[in-house]
Amino acid sequence: MHAVTVLFATHARYLDHLTGPRHPERPSRLQAVVAAATGAAGEAVTALEPRPATRTELELVHPGWYLDRLSALADEGGGWIDEDTRMSAASVEAAALAAGAGLTAVEALRRGEGTAAFCAVRPPGHHATPTTAMGFCLVSNISVVAAALAEQGERVWIFDIDAHHGNGTQAVFESDPRVLFVSLHEWPLYPGTGRVTETGTGAGAGTTLNVPLPAGTTGDVYLQAFDEVIAPVVTRFAPTWLLISAGFDAHRADPLTDMGLTAGDYPPLVRRAVELVPPGRTVAMLEGGYDLDALTASTGAVLGALAGVDTAVERPSAGGPGADAVARARAVWLEG
C-alpha cells in the first residue's frame, strides 16, 4: 500500500439513475469525475467497491414511509417528484449505493486501508430532507454516514462546499449536538436557506454554521472565512471525523451558479479542513457541479490535496467580493 492512499468509491449502477434529456444532473457528470481518478494523483488512488446502505442505516435519517414511497415510484418506472427532481427505475438502488459508499469508506478507513476517501456518487444528497426529495436529491447520503458515525459515539463535522446550501443536511442535524454542519454557499440562490443567523436549535444550538457569500466570491475569501470563522468553531467542537459535501458548482464555469472559484481554490481549503481532524478520518462525497471540464479539474485537485500532491490545473482565484459576508459571520460566531 502507498504511504498515502486515497480510496475512490464509485459504482457503475450510478449511471442507471436516469433523469431525462438535458437534465443538468446527468450520468456524464459521474464519468467526468471518474476520469479525474486516473490523473496526476492516480498512483495514490485505490478503487473501493461500495455496498448499499441497509434499510436500518437509511432509517437513521429517513422514515420508512418515505423510503417506501421512493421504492413505489421506482417500481412504476420512475417519474418527476418536483420540477427539478426526477428518478428512474434504478434510482432507489443507486441512492442506496450512494449512501453506502460513504459507509463503506468509513469501514475501510477504520481498517487502515487508506488515509482518506472520495466517493464519486449520484444521485447527490444534500438537498434531501428526511421526508422530501428535492434539488436533484433523493436520499441524504452524507447524513446517513454522519448519523451512523454519531450513533457510534463519534463527533462529526460536515463541511459543505457546494455553491447551493445543503438545506437537507442542515434539517437532519440542526438540533443534534453530535454533528457540526458548516456551509459555504452562494446567497441568494436555491434553495433559499442558509442565513448566517441559522445556527442550530435546541440541543444543537451552536452546531450549524452558515457563511452565505455573494455571487463572484473568489478563493481568497473562502480561505479568509475558513481561517477567521470556521477553524475556531471547528477547533472548539473537536470533531473525530470530517465528511465533505464536495460540490464543485462554485467553479466559475458552472452553468447553474455565479461564484468565482477555480479548481486551484479547492486544495488549500481541503488541506486546511483535513488538518482539523485525526489522520485517516476524512471522507469526501460528491454533490453538485454541472460543467464537465470543471468537474474533472476540481475532482482531480481535491484528490491531489487528499493525496498530498499538487494536481491543480488552474491558478487560485482572488479579488472578488465577500469580505463583508465573512465579517458578518465572524460577528455572529466570535464577537457576538
Rounded Cα distance, 211 and 136, in Å = 23
Determine the average pLDDT of the residues in 43-72: 97
Q: Is the peptide bond before 188 cis (omega within 30 degrees of 0)?
A: yes
Task: Give the number of domains in the chain.
Answer: 1
pLDDT class for 1, splitting at 50, 70, 90?
Answer: very low
Helix (H, G, I), strand (E, B) or coil at 2: coil
Under a CB-based contact definition with an 8 Å cutoff, are residues 185 and 160 in contact? yes
CATH number at residue 11: 3.40.800.20
Residue 1 lies in a domain: no
Rounded Cα distance, 305 and 266, in Å = 8
Using alpha carbons, select from 130, 134, 102 the residue that is nearest to residue 118.
102
Whole-number pLDDT of residue 39 = 76
pLDDT class for 310, splitting at 50, 70, 90?
Answer: confident
Cα 47 to Cα 37, 101, 104, 116, 272, distances in angstroms: 9, 12, 12, 12, 25
Which pLDDT tens digit goes with each residue over 161-193?
Answer: 999 999 999 999 999 999 999 999 999 999 999
Residue 21 burial class via C-beta count within 10 angstroms: exposed 0-12, middle 13-18, buried 19 and up: exposed
Mean pLDDT taken over the chain: 96
Whole-number pLDDT of residue 2 = 44
Q: What percent of the chain has pLDDT over 70?
A: 98
Rounded Cα distance, 100 and 144, in Å = 8
Which pLDDT tens digit goes with each residue over 76-118?
Answer: 999 999 999 999 999 999 999 999 999 999 999 999 999 999 9
Residue 161 lies in a domain: yes
Whole-number pLDDT of residue 335 = 76
Structural domain harbouring 40 = 6-335
Comparing 14-18, 37-41, 278-282, which segment has the lowest mean pLDDT?
37-41
Residues 6+ apart with CB under 8 A from 22: none
Helix (H, G, I), strand (E, B) or coil at 129: strand
> Does residue 3 register a pLDDT over 70?
no
Residue 313 lies in a domain: yes
Residue 197 lies in a domain: yes
Rounded Cα distance, 322 and 301, in Å = 23
Residue 16 lies in a domain: yes
Whole-number pLDDT of residue 336 = 60
- Residues annotated as catalytic are 127
Rounded Cα distance, 277 and 273, in Å = 8
Residues 6+ apart with CB under 8 A from 324: none
